[in-house]
Copies of this chain bind each other. A is one copy, B any other.
Amino acid sequence: MRILILGMDGYLGWSLANSLPGEKFSIYGIDNFYRRKWVKEMQSVSAVPVASMEERIKAYKKANRKEINFFKGNITNYEFLNHVVKKVRPEVIVHFAQCPSAPYSMMNQKKCVWVQQNNITGTLNLIHAVKEHVPGAHIIKLGTMGEYGTPNLDIPEGFFEVEYRGRKDRLPFPRQANSWYHLSKVHDSNNLQFACRNYGIRCTDIMQGIVFGFHSNADKGTKELNTRLDFDEAFGTIINRFCCQAVIDYPLTSYGKGTQLRSFLPLSDSMKCFQLVIENAAASGEYRVVNQFANVHSINELSRKVSAVCRQLGIAVKTKPIENPRKEKEHHYYHPDNNNLKSIGYKPATEFDEEIRKMITGLLPFRKRILKYKAILNPTIHW
């Protein structure tokens, strides 16, 4: 099966390229290396050293006895994307090629506009290239659980049956996102839904919880196959940041009361979910939404979990609650569904604590590297 990964150089993109069994999939990838640029812009680095794409592909070939075909370029350039899609004729396209940071989008007017333009344009270009060359291809789009916000209702998967003034309909579940970045994902969801309805394209839109974890590819023993792991305030996500803080004895930066609830998923589970979605395509014309997460936790629970694992490993960790730099509800109802993935075979497999332990031990060799960037661990972007 020919699979094209947009954003193959990123945290999820490179993990996915390495997770998909080589005997089943031919991997094609696109990236413009912007993630490397953005993290540099935040004056940070990946905690895990990242090889160049050339080195990565070479190592992949050695490990898998198979090629990855890589195209360097920007999917907001339609001619480029169109050319690649026409040439590769992928059966599945996994779309990670977006700027994935709420804080980055909230820095100022320029970033706000740039993130929305970049993310929306890439997805619109993808829709048109698919419509033009491979109308039967399955688009798998990375959305986020953050699209829904925190309504005072259960959160279904994309759609809900609603009764209003005595009439019934199945409607898209309202989105109430809380950053320009999250809104760009909402716009994408709306655009993709229309594309499926109007052009008969097939799409699975993945509302993903916060992914955490360390993809060491230890079994393959090749450091060039490692995926990146960010810990700066814009591109590092909460558990990964906590773990990086823990290994350098930096107090865990817990935002606000810490009672906010969010949904989470280990990286290895996320990879299994993507493979399941790839192998169970949406129907022609179908816009399918899956909520992809394993557990719901409060921020306080996370810091306790990380601290507990650290204690077992002999690392003493403190938590430092800091004023919440974001406007978000600190006490709220949160009960999202996640049945769609389970119905196609997802069983949360990786133990939460085990994934944290793996990450902490994996990060220990990079203590010095992280220590060097200590200054960027406190949030400076407020909204």
Any B CB within 8 A of the CB of A78: yes
Residue A190 is within 8 A (CB to CB) of chain B in the complex: yes
Residue of chain B at shortest CB distance from A156:
B164
> Which chain B positions have C-beta within 8 A of A113?
78, 121, 124-125
The complex places the Cα of A175 from the Cα of B163 at a distance, in Å, of 16
Q: Report how far A156 CA is from B164 CA in the complex, Å.
A: 10
In Å, the complex CA distance between A112 and B199 comes to 14
Interface code A203-241, partner B: CB below 8 Å = 1, 0 otherwise? 000000000000000000000000000000000000000
Smallest CB separation, A98 vs chain B (Å): 15
Q: Are A198 and B178 in contact (CB under 8 A)?
A: yes
* Mask: chain A, 174-186; 1 = CB below 8 Å from B; 0 = not: 1111111001001
Stretch touching chain B among A146-154, A242-250, A312-320: A146-154
Our pick among B153, B177, B180 for the contact of A164 (Cβ within 8 Å) is B153
Instruction: Report A336 CB to chain B, min CB distance, Å.
Output: 12
Chain B residues with Cβ under 8 A from A160's Cβ? 164
Q: Determine the chain B residues whose CB is within 8 A of the CB of A80 once the complex forms.
A: none
Q: Assess the B152–A169 pair: CB atoms within 8 A.
A: yes
Q: A109-B78, A124-B109, A128-B112 are in contact. Are A172 and B164 (CB under 8 A)?
A: no
- Tell me whether A183 and B194 are in contact (CB under 8 A): yes
Q: How far is the CA of A193 from the CA of B180 in the complex (A)?
A: 11
Chain B hits for A176, CB < 8 A: 171-172, 193
**A174 is contacted by which of B128, B172, B178 (Cβ under 8 Å)?**
B172
A190 touches B168 (CB 8 A): no
